[in-house]
Amino acid sequence: MNDVLFYSLFAAVAAFVIAAAVCPFFIPFLHRIKFGQNVRDDGPRTHLVKAGTPTMGGIIILFALMASSLFFLRGNQDGLVVLFVTLGFGFVGFLDDYIKVRKKRNEGLSVNQKLLLQVFIVAAYFTSRIMSGDTSTSINFSIFGTVDFWYFYYVIMGLGILYIVNAVNITDGVDGLCGSVTVVYCAAFMIICGLLYQSGLSVLAAATAGGCIGFLIWNFNPAKVFMGDTGSMFLGGIVCGLGIGAGAELVMVIAGAVYIWEALTVLIQTTYYKATGGKRLFRMTPIHHSFEMRGWKETKIVFVFSLIAAVFGTAATLLTVMEM
């Protein structure tokens, strides 16, 4: 184990301890201020019992990540830039959650409002990278070589960030699912960034994984708290920041296959529904709800999806090793 990976494990343990210790105090606080979840009317009927469960618990993961990573990053510029975009997406999620709980409805920010804020964050992220001296516009396609997309890189990756951030958000629909899949993804990137000696990004990946594990103690079915859009959107920022920051865009897509699959089923369902005049290809989307409709327990869905994420995360790690 190299020094970067060893150092990152300390960040993971610290974030885990912080998240696990804060949850017992923060969850009752969310109860007192009545920040309860409003359940979707068009979701599985079994989810109706979850109404009122405290939401915005993603603040716990964010706090654990900040407390741990800021200590271990020690001014690492690459890590701080990714942390910046993470906080931006987390803030958008916080606004969305806050509007929902205050107005007691399942709709927060409008689609256009959310998209506008996300585009602004993406633009600010790329601007900060350029200002820090990272002007690379190339994407490594492994055995197919590296392609320089010039200024089109920012358009392609900007759209990719918007897709993946919202895909991670969509994955948060079953107790423990988004957190578990993200632990696997971040574990893979902790190793990948460690092997590439990108200490700041490895620390961020490790701290995120540790914070998620500490949070999952209270988020596994039956969940005592939900991460809300606050958590899922900032995790989406981490997923993108690690992949793009490490210059491993292809690896990011491979390791994030579960997120991409989840969002893709929604796009396919919507397109098919409109094209056929109301017919559905899946019982319900995102796809995890389709498995629920087939009688799968939430714990089984989390296990199977996390296993799939582990397979793709391992493939992404092996691809990185082969290219070293």
What pLDDT digit, counting tens, does each position of 263-319 carry? 999 999 999 999 998 889 998 999 999 999 999 999 999 999 999 999 999 999 999
Give me the percent of the chain exceeding a pLDDT of 70.
Answer: 94
CA dist 255 and 238 (Å) reads 13
C-beta separation of 5 from 191 below 8 A:
yes
C-beta separation of 228 from 56 below 8 A:
yes
Q: Where are the domains of the chain?
A: 3-323
> DSSP per residue over 226-282, as a string?
--HHHHHHHHHHHHHHHHHHTT-HHHHHHHTHHHHHHHHHHHHHHHHHHHTTS--SS
* The Cα angle at residue 37 between residues 22 and 219, in degrees rounded to 5: 40
pLDDT, tens digit, for every residue of 49-105?
667 788 899 999 999 999 988 788 776 788 888 988 899 999 999 999 999 888 776
CA distances from 141 to 158, 198, 246 (A): 18, 20, 14
| pLDDT at res. 219 | 94
Bridge pairing between strands 146-148 and 138-140: antiparallel
Output DSSP code: residue 55: -
- State the chain's mean pLDDT as an integer: 90
